[in-house]
Structure 1
Amino acid sequence: MQSAGSDQLTSVVIPVFIRTEEQLGWLREAVASALGQSHDNIQLILADDMSPVSIRSILCALPKNTVYFRNSQNLGQAGCRQKAVETARGGIVAFLDQDDLWEPDYLREQLRYMEERQADMVFCDPEFLVMDGADSPVLRQDRSKIPERSSFLSLFLQGNYAVSFSGTVIKKQAILEAGGMDARYTSMDDFDLYLKISSRGSVLHNPQTLYRYRIHTSAANRRVRLFSDSLLLMRLYLRHFAEAGAGEKKAMLPRLVKKTLALAYYKLCNK
C-alpha cells in the first residue's frame, strides 16, 4: 500500500437522504464541519439517495470541485457509499454521516496518525450528543487501553465499541481490494467493511475524540435497532471467525461464546 500522505487529496463522502427541513439543517451543519477542516485539500462528494426534500439550497454554496449525484433508484447507504468511493479522486476516503459533525482538526489528526503508522484504516473516538435542541453531550468512550495493533475481530469481541463511518478514514485502495461495501446489508455494512479490511491490512485506533455522533431516535426504537444490529453483527463475527487462523480462533472462542449467551439472555428478558 502507498503512504497515506498527510497533505494528499482526501475525498469526503456524505450519503444523503433528507425527509424533513430539520434534517436539511443537520446536513448543512455536517457539510460546514467538513469544509471547515484545517486540512483543506478535500474533494466533497454528496451521494443523494432520492431525497424527498431538495438540497439545492446547500448545493448552491459548495466549492466547484464538489461532486453531487442523485440516484435514479434507491441504493441504500451501502450502495451510495460504494458509488461515491468509485467516483472519488482522493487516495484517502473519509466518511461523514449527514447528521454528524467533525472537529476542525479531524482530518489533519486522522491523516497524521495514518501516515505515521502506515495504516490502511484509522478510527477515532466519538462524543455522543442527544438531539434535544441543545445537542446535550451524553458520554465519551474511554478506549485508551485498546491495544493499538490488536486484531480488529478480537477487539470487537472484547467489548461494545461504537465505530461509526463518521470516525473513519480509509485508503481507497484498501476499500476496493476488500470488495467494498456490501449493498445486501441495510445496517452494519460498516462493520462488515472494517472486518474485511482488517483481514487484509492494518486497522488502527486513534485514541482522540474528534467527532460528534448525534443520537436522535426514540428509546424504544433504539432498543429494537440495537438487538437487530447485534444479531447481524454476531453473524458477521461468525463469518470472519471461520476465516481466522487456528491460533486466533482459540483466543477468540471464549469471548464469542460469552457474547452469544449475552444476546440470548437479552432476547429472553425483552420478550
Structure 2
Amino acid sequence: MINISIVISVYNKEDYLKSTIESVLNQTYQNFEIIAVNDGSSDNSLNILKGFSDSRLRIINQTNQGASAARNLGIKESKYEYIALLDGDDLWLPNYLAEMVTSIQTFPNEAVFASAIANTYDDKIVPVSYAVKNTNTIKIIDYFKNSTYNYSLLTSSSIIFKKEIIKKTGWYDTSIVSGQDVDFWIKIGLNFPVVFINRVLVHYRFNDYSLSNTTFDPKYKPKFNNYTTQEINNKHLKKFLDVNRYSLALMCKLHDYNNEFSEYKNAIDLTNLKWRHRIFLQSPKWFLKMLLDLKSLKKEKVYYKALNRK
C-alpha cells in the first residue's frame, strides 16, 4: 500500500483554501495525510483550516518565512515515503492521486512523478502546452529537454516524489522568495528523470496577488549561478537556464533594474533563444509594455507585470 504525505503551504489563501482542501478530501484514493503549514497568514486561512475535522489533517503554524521554509518544514514533518506538494489555492481533480499512484506502481524504481495541468481563470480553463505531444500517455522523460519553451513538467501542485531525493537535491533554497520552485526543479532535473502523465489532473488557479505576479525585485529571484559548471556539458540544462534568464532579463528591463538586466543577458547564449526573443531583448521598454498590454486582453496569465492593477 502506498501512503502519501501531502504538504500544503498556506499564506493568505482564504478565498481559495476551503475548496483546495476539499479537492484533497474528495480524492478517490484515500491513503494519505495532509500537512498544512500556515506561513503566518494574516487573513482567515488558519480558521478555515481549523474548520476541517478530518483526523488526517495536521496544521503547523510558523511565523511568515516564505513558501520555501513552509515546504521544507512540511516535508520534515511528513511520516510517509512519498511527498505530494500542493499550493493552498490550486485544485486536484478527484482521480489525481489514484492516477499518480498507478504511475508509481508502474515505475517503482523511479522517484519523481508529475501530471499535466490546466490554468483556470474566472471564465475559462486552458490546458497548458507541453513538449510532450501525445496525450493520455505516461513516459519517463528528461526534465530540461521537455521544459524549455513549453510549460514546465513540474509545478508545486502536480508533483509527487520520494522523500529520499532530498539527500541528492538538498532542501528548498529559503533565500529565494519568488522562483524557488524553478531552483528546486533544476536540482531534481540534474539527478532524476520525471515520470510524466500527459493528462490534465490539476487546475492551477491564477491569482493576481501571488508572489510570482507581485515580486519583481531581482534580488528575490534565482540567479542560476550555482549551475554554471553543470551547464557547460549539459546542453539541455544550458538552454533551460538561458530561457529562464531571458524571462528574468525582460522582467528587469520592464522594472528598471538595468545592472541585473545586463547580468542575465550577458549569461545567455543567444542561439538558445528564438529569433523573436532575441529581438525582444533588444527592444525598448515601451514596446515590451505594449506587447504585454495586448496579451493581457486575453485575461490569461501574463509574466513580468501584475494584472488588473488600478
Q: TM-score, normalised by structure 1?
A: 0.79
Paired position in structure 2 for 1:205: 196
Deviations 1:157-196 (A, max 9, x none): 3534363210111111113431121111112221222221
Q: 1:11–1:153: structure 2 CA closer, same or farther, 3 Å change rule?
A: same
CA contact (8 A) 2:85 2:157 kept: yes
State which of 252, 258, 266 in structure 1 corresponds to 2:280.
Answer: 266
Question: d(CA) in 1 for partners of 2:237 and 2:131?
Answer: 19
State which of 16, 37, 40 in structure 2 corresponds to 1:26.
Answer: 16
State which of 243, 248, 257 in structure 1 corresponds to 2:230.
Answer: 243
Confirm or deny that 1:37 pairs with 2:24. Answer: no
Residue 58 of structure 1 deviates from its aligned partner by 3.2
Q: 1:199–1:252: structure 2 CA closer, same or farther, 3 Å change rule?
A: closer
Counterpart amino acid of 1:208?
A: R
Residue 136 of structure 1 deviates from its aligned partner by 2.0
Confirm or deny that 1:9 pairs with 2:23. Answer: no
Which deviates further from its counterpart, 175-184 or 38-47? 175-184
SS of 2:119's partner is strand
CA contact (8 A) 2:130 2:146 kept: no
SS of 1:155's partner is coil
Question: d(CA) in 1 for partners of 2:199 and 2:216?
Answer: 25
Structure 2 portions without partners, runs of 5+? 243-268, 286-310
Aligned pairs for 1:7-86 within 5 A: 7-18=1-12, 23-54=13-44, 55-71=46-62, 73-86=63-76
State which of 105, 111, 125 in structure 1 corresponds to 2:116.
Answer: 125
Q: What percentage of residue pairs aligned between the two structures are identical?
A: 19
Confirm or deny that 1:192 pairs with 2:183. Answer: yes
Deviations 1:127-152 (A, max 9, x none): 1111x2xx521344354338944432
Counterpart amino acid of 1:240?
A: Y
Aligned length: 249
Q: 1:260–1:198: structure 2 CA closer, same or farther, 3 Å change rule?
A: same
Deviations 1:185-235 (A, max 9, x none): 1122212222212322332222111010111328xx85x869969x956x4
CA contact (8 A) 2:156 2:181 kept: yes
Q: 1:190–1:253: structure 2 CA closer, same or farther, 3 Å change rule?
A: closer
CA contact (8 A) 1:111 1:169 kept: no
Q: TM-score, normalised by structure 2?
A: 0.70
Question: d(CA) in 2 for partners of 1:162 and 1:270?
Answer: 32
Confirm or deny that 1:144 pairs with 2:95. Answer: no
Question: d(CA) in 1 for partners of 2:160 and 2:239?
Answer: 31
Which deviates further from its counterpart, 91-100 or 153-162? 153-162
Paired position in structure 2 for 1:91: 81
Counterpart amino acid of 1:9?
A: N
Paired position in structure 1 for 2:247: none
Which deviates further from its counterpart, 187-196 or 58-67? 58-67
RMSD: 3.1
Which deviates further from its counterpart, 171-180 or 40-49? 171-180
Question: d(CA) in 2 for partners of 1:8 and 1:162?
Answer: 23
Q: 1:90–1:183: structure 2 CA closer, same or farther, 3 Å change rule?
A: same
Paired position in structure 2 for 1:4: none
Q: 1:174–1:162: structure 2 CA closer, same or farther, 3 Å change rule?
A: closer
Q: 1:145–1:17: structure 2 CA closer, same or farther, 3 Å change rule?
A: same
Higher helix share: 1
Structure 1 portions without partners, runs of 5+? 1-6
Deviations 1:39-85 (A, max 9, x none): 101110110111112322432323123211111x3210011000000
Q: 1:143–1:156: structure 2 CA closer, same or farther, 3 Å change rule?
A: closer
Confirm or deny that 1:178 pairs with 2:169. Answer: yes
SS of 1:164's partner is coil
Question: d(CA) in 2 for partners of 1:183 and 1:254?
Answer: 25
Residue 98 of structure 1 deviates from its aligned partner by 0.9
Paired position in structure 1 for 2:94: 104
Residue 245 of structure 1 deviates from its aligned partner by 7.4
Question: d(CA) in 1 for partners of 2:218 and 2:58?
Answer: 34
